[in-house]
Structure 1
Amino acid sequence: MEEYTQDSPQLDELDVKNRVQNLMWTVSGDYGLDTEVDTASFEKSKYISLYDAIKQGAFARYFDKEAFGGYVVRKVYLGADSSVLMRLGQLCVDSAVWKKASKERIGVPDVRKKAFADALERDFFKLTHSYWGKIQASYYRYALYGMKTEERTQRVLDRILRIQDASDTMEVIRCLDEVYNDVCDKEFESRVGGLERVLAVPEREMQNFNWQDYLNEEARENRVQRLMDLFQQQMYQEEAQTDQEKKQTGVVLLDEEAIAKMDHYIELNYGRSYLTGAQQRKLNRRLCTGAHADSRLHFTDGILAGMVQENSQSVYARKVKELNLRFLHQNARVTRQNIQVLANILQRALVSRTEQEQCKSDCGRIQASRLWNVGRTSNRLLFERSIPRDDSDFAVEILIDASGSQRKRQSLVALQAYILSEALSRAGIPQRVMGFCSFWDYTVMRRFRDYEEGPEANRRIFEFYGSANNRDGLAIRAAAQSLDERQEENKILIVLSDGRPNDLVVNRPNSKNTAPYCLDYAVRDTAIEVRKLRNRGIAVLGVFAGVEEDLAAEKRIFGKDFAYIKEIGNFARVVGRYLKKQLAD
């Protein structure tokens, strides 16, 4: 068996930035949140990086980030030490948000403790050569072990800890201002003025102050936004521990202003829709019902074909396409073999459907070998007739799970879809290839090729990449709708997935569904959609490309009609057996 090689070069900052932005917007509830991405410090400690990202997203969600930033800039403009102010500010931010974040994400306390433990171990010198560093270390030890410190420092910690239940940004600002004046510059207030004086500094007065340079330094110091997708994955693993915990997770609260901006964000990062607004609204009314009543569909040819403007997402999409094509080149031989084997299976099955079946009859062509029955038996079947077999036609839809959980194997998934599409093209079977993922309450249906297009369109499949979440039930329902509109008698849906439907719920005003779309609830909903299709005469095959622990969910969804592909060399034969059965029946 020829082995395939998965080329896995790092996507460097493009990959990280893409992942971080999507999840940062989800955590904060503000897709316009714009911060610089620093990937280098992840090598120091992933937990420090992850927890800084959690703090940043949570603070933007629960407090006024601009007001806090405005205070910091004004304080520095009036002569405060920026490095001390920010180090103390991070403690205030942590105190204000960690309990709130923990209520929604049960894994936050564990990540927080690991981050603090790593900071104590790896930043020991930094935390001991200054008094404010000592305050940081004492804060970390108190969070880890409940360990109190000497009276003066404990008094500072107690002041910071008092804002754990703060709900107003001014409480956080006032705490930071008091702590800074106490531990760093006791003469600041008498020399410059109190908090009111700081906040009263007009913007025009700071026009010549190079505050942007300071903010860039602040970003480097804070180390926010690193690989937050790993944090999300860990949160979901821990959220699965109890039913009660599941009910409290996977929900994003948004106000109407954020909701109004979502259309633009979806087009900016996934491409313009190829449908008119009226067509999309009609499909949403028809398909977004039941468990998906709060969802919306967005049909697009992808960011490269429907680009609104050049951005990091479009650059990332081109980079992934290059990697996918490189993977195709590396596995060219096994790919050609799979395409040829699968195409031959399909062609032979189609030919057998057009062959005429011969049967005995009382009319037709006389058979001399049966004439002895005349006058001797009552058998009148002395003739042979040709009966044409069913030559009805077929249509196939290939639906690819394009969620973030597919990212580590996206080149392999793209190659599988390409093999299927090429083989179907050679067999002359009309087909459409779609990918799907979900972000906020949008399920994005990405069209790679349509039924009427020729084989040259198949290579667009290598634009495939994994992103965000996946609402499998709604995607399957949308794919079935397009098959229903086809005139062919026989219809087949092939779903390439990892057996893990998983989506967030956007809690709008008057939301109909508040349960997170994940775990048993999502698997059950997807299985129901598959059964509905089969009851309508649409054959459904699941091609599993996940890990073994998710096999049980895949079996619940697709029953006996699923293929587990362990090696790409077996792909054509495994999938071919199922398709041959469908074509021959």
Structure 2
Amino acid sequence: MKRHTKNEISTRRLLADARAHVSDEQFFCSPAFTAYLEHMAAIHTSRYSYRYHLTVQMDWLPIPKTHLAYTNNQHIYINAGHPIVSRYTKRNERYLYVLGLFVHELGHVLYTDFPAWALFVQSVLKGQWRPDLSSCSSERVQQSVAEIQAFLDKGPPYRQVIAAVLKHLLNILEDAYIELCLLKKFPGVFGSALMYMRNDDLTQSHTLTEQQNAGLSPWTIAVNLLLYYARFGKLPLGNEPASHPCVQALSPCLETVQNSIVGTFSDRIQAVVMLLVYLWPLANPEKDWARFFSDCQSKQTPSVRTSGLFTEAPIGDTRPAEQGILILEDLCRDRKMTGTGRIQYDDAYLPHKNNAALNDILDQVAIEQLEKQRAAALNTSVQKMDLGALHNHVDITIHRASVITQDMREKYKKIAAPLLPLSNRLQQELSRELHKRKYPQTMPGYALGKRIDTKRLYRPDQKIFTKNVPAKKGFDMAVAVLLDESGSMGSKDRYKYAQAAAIILQDFCYRLHIPMMVYGHSTSGDLVDLYSYVEYDVFADLDRYRLADIQARRSNRDGAALRYVSRRLLERPERNKILILVSDGNPAHTNYWGEAAEEDLRAFRSEFVSCGGLLIAAAIGDDKDAIHRIYGQSFMDITDLSSFPLRLTQYLKRHIRR
């Protein structure tokens, strides 16, 4: 079992404390949560040869009358601050509900025929909506058809209102269809989130009696009954009889609704037209559709969205009518109980799998906050540090990325793939020395002792005894790497050699549990820029991905950067301290160049070595003579990276035996 150092324990406590102070807004609106959703979307849309990169926008608007979630087939919007989400008391419940919203909208991207949807809306805007109601020729139906046509004939604003109403009804049926598809094909994490939403929404629903007591209009009640029926396969009548006008208006359409949910998009188009005709007598356009009239007066054409509520909501329930899992109750139960390859819901699966992702994202959010605090602390400390007379007047800024993006991860993996074998070679070169230090050794060749080595009985010098050598404390070493990121490093891609060296060293030190720091340095005008890639105390194994950002930048003021990094290194408690500088030549900055700059660097080397440190000046490029002239015995040529592990091993072995 690994024993953690005091620094590691302190780091873990900081991370735990940061996790405890992450707010819901910070969590849901974090780049880490957005990246997680986009990654999940990319995985599942790739199965359907989706042409676009689906983006996700997380928002935090704790206002009731705002959109909860919608998609336009290329972009998903979710308002995690909506009261519907915030009514949950626990974060994992809010997380599951938001994940369910995401899955719901992703279902539209995967299964909704958006072009056909748009064509249907355009045809309604042109007044072309004629329903096929040949099976019903009642006088009431024909009167409703005539009234709707007269309403459409009043002009474009009225057609826009009817189009919006039909879109809303269609969305209810479309939601049921897409979520039925999702539950068939995604029974894992996605299915768990959907089932969580469905079970919760069932408990939050209101009966016909409750809606009527709340004073909702007949149209609103009828639409909410349709929503409930599409989701749960029954009508929540409460204490009201089946002869209620809203129930009577819906009854002729229920079989068509069920068939359309498992049918084609054309079936759902026909069903919503039928619903509009049969529910028309319940509607009061000026009251029930007031918002759409307002949109028309503002010259706003209703857009094709998959959420947004135009009806009144039941008392205590402000959710959009289409939110939740719209799937027939009888079909869902059938899939749960048959056990013949259909969907089965495992209650124990829900918290374990989803909470694993939640905790991972929470860690990333907490680490992001800690990294921002670390960057601020580093910039404060560097201003108080004495860097010598030549550099005390120079302003220094430390840059550190607080977020590890997916691009950084992918770029690192691509660059590191051919380099990690060199790190393995470096580890193998030191494996014997590591073994000697980690475990007690039996040393042969002694003339006196208590144990005889039978294999050496033939020796005439009588050195046939062995002695036990106790284990050492390990490497007891700390490493700091400083990379030259001046503009000249862009010549012949020298910065890539520096990047490769940093990746090899970082992986080597990480595998052997050697504390390590990697910095890059450049300038911006008169300012010195330090780039923090790897720090000694890490909150997670993410620093390696920052190495993908190494590049050629501007000028270089080596003396200031070296003194800062060396000060940090010398503060470490380890006995052996190694500073590795990777550079391609002389420094060049405002009032810092030529012989004066070289003399400053020679003085630095003397100071650092006198403090017990080992300096390795690794040279890249054609200006190796200048580096050798400045650093003398500390010089190492690493232009040939394949020889780098062996040469570095020789340095390390020599140093750790002191």
TM over 0.5: no
- Superposition TM-score, scaled by structure 1 size: 0.42
Larger Rg: 2
Report 1 or 2 for greater relative contact order, CA contacts < 8 Å, sequence distance ≥ 6.
Answer: 1
